[in-house]
Amino acid sequence: MHNMLNNSRKPGARSIRLLLFIFLHSLIAPLSYADNFSLPEIGDPSGNLLSPAGERRLGQAFMRHVRASQQVISDPLMNSYIQSLGGRLAASSNSQERTFHFFLIDSPDVNAFAGPGGYIGINTGLITTTESESELASVLGHEIAHVTQNHLVRTFDAMQRMSLPAAALAVTALVVGAATKQTDAGLAVATGVQAGMAQSQINFTRSHEEEADSIGIENLAQAGFDPQAMPVFFERMGKATRLYSSGELPDFLRTHPVTSDRIADARGRAGAYPYRQTPDSLEYHLVRAALKSAQFGSPKDAVTYFRDSLSNHRYRNEESQRYGYALALIADRKFEQAQKHLDTLLRARPEQIAYIDAQALLLEKQGKLKEAQQIIQDGLEFYPGNHVLSLRNATLLLDIGSPLQALTLLETHLQGRPDDEQLYKLLARAAGNAGKNTLGHQYMAEYYYLSGELESAVKQLQIALKDDTSDYYQSARIAARLKSLQDELNDLKQRER
């Protein structure tokens, strides 16, 4: 569970309407993320806003820039959990026709944010800070409400009626801030602009937060979680506020101000629903343990932490704590000890995917690749097509020298996950190892594209197009895709001038 994707390239400036959108998004999303995104225009001069197709394109562009600038976690087990939890809440929302995409950011900061197109990011620090699954669900429910109520688009629509000087100030703040990489000068301008606009916008954005709280609590109750979890979490965050000066507040507290009135209002709304004691899922605790294991500076520190917590009975869930201990022992290459703990876990729950995956990881680290692959293959007998096990299976097949088998497996899996950048990365490796170099460059181009590396994607397709062994139809497909990416790259460069 330690495979992370980390890129640090940051896009440049865009059009006035684009910059204005980013500024507005920063009012309800973390500034540290919002001012790094360069997105296409979301309206036309006639004042029409986003169509569903336009919002999807905007969301996809948003996600590419997230991957290019943030540490997006690629671990399939963690992603499977957060998508499952978010999907459960989304299914109970008042906009079930929307598609949501939940993803994790490897950051200790306590935060979550909603982007266009139903893309919702959750910092790992939020998961480890929550004390129950309902608390985590309350934050996801809040962010889902921002999407279902079209708060981004509604804010943009309201701001289009701003005076030109106010809009110019907002753009200046963004341009100066980006040019100086948030130096004091850039931040001073931005602060001045926000202060000047506060009176005209604060009621609008505050109403967004109130609406997201209200709908989020309703969503929690309908999805079977404890609606009181939202005010409980707010209350803990409110107490934490006193530990910081105003300039040091965590992102969550800056972008989601927690006041006594807000806590009281949330308690009142939650009180309208009957009391429900909702047990946490095992998967919630397993993900928290895996994240905790990865937080330490060295595997030895993680081993010490889990060993001591188990000895002193300091844990929320003993089973997940033992799982975290096993992961730490594997990372520290204490394989024999790790096996003992995994044996205990597997005896109790032989069907648990996380334990099957951990057993394969242990064997893989010991160099027992065929045994590891057999463990996964056996797991797939119980869970045919499971994403977590399939990706592990494909990786092991590549490691034992069966690239064609891996390629077939991955291509079948891609049909249901066309935007999974890690699938494309594995496909590129499988195709290359199987001697299908042109196909490998095509898959690598898609990986780079989804990762926000547009120039690298173009270069991969240019290499693929030079292969004279390709047939006419393959060459035509490559040329068409290359033209599409080159047009996008040229448009990007023009907007940066």
The residue among 270, 295, 320 that closes a domain is 270
Catalytic status, residue 364: no
The residue among 216, 240, 270 that closes a domain is 270
In a domain, 188, yes or no: yes
How many domains, the chain?
2
Catalytic status, residue 143: yes
In a domain, 11, yes or no: yes
The residue among 217, 246, 270 that closes a domain is 270
Whichever domain contains 416, its CATH number is: 1.25.40
Nearest 10 degrees: CA dihedral of 127, 128, 132, 133?
30
In a domain, 280, yes or no: no
Find residue 4's DSSP bridge partners: 73
In a domain, 288, yes or no: no
Task: Choose the catalytic residue: 35, 55, 133, 143.
Answer: 143
Q: Please report how many Cα atoms fall inside a 13 Å half-sphere around the Cα of residue 201, on the Cβ side.
A: 26
pTM of the entire predicted model = 0.80
Is 139 within 8 Å of 233 (Cβ atoms)? yes
User: Measured between alpha carbons, how far is 195 from 198 in angstroms, rounded to an integer?
Assistant: 5
Q: What are phi and psi of 396, to 5 degrees?
A: -70, -35
In a domain, 195, yes or no: yes
In a domain, 323, yes or no: no
In a domain, 349, yes or no: no
The predicted-structure confidence for 125-164, as pLDDT tens digits, reads as follows 999 999 999 999 999 999 899 888 877 666 555 444 543 3
* First CA to last CA distance, the chain: 41
Task: Choose the catalytic residue: 133, 213, 280, 364.
Answer: 213
The predicted-structure confidence for 341-356, as pLDDT tens digits, reads as follows 999 999 999 999 999 9
User: Measured between alpha carbons, how far is 56 from 116 in angstroms, rounded to an integer?
Assistant: 8
User: Measured between alpha carbons, how far is 162 from 168 in angstroms, rounded to an integer?
Assistant: 10
Per-residue pLDDT of the chain (497 residues; tens, 9 = 90+): 544 333 333 433 333 344 444 444 433 333 333 333 333 333 333 334 557 776 787 778 778 878 887 899 999 999 999 999 999 999 988 776 788 999 999 999 888 888 778 889 999 999 999 999 999 999 999 989 988 887 766 655 544 454 333 433 333 333 223 323 333 433 344 444 444 444 444 444 677 788 888 889 999 999 999 999 999 998 888 776 555 545 555 556 555 666 778 888 888 888 899 888 899 999 999 999 999 999 998 999 999 999 999 999 999 999 999 999 999 999 999 999 999 999 999 999 999 999 999 999 999 999 999 999 999 999 999 999 999 999 999 999 999 999 999 999 999 999 888 889 999 999 999 999 999 999 999 999 999 999 989 999 999 999 999 988 888 899 999 999 999 999 888 876 765 55
Domain span including residue 132: 4-270
The residue assigned the tokens 């308690």 is 267
In a domain, 397, yes or no: no
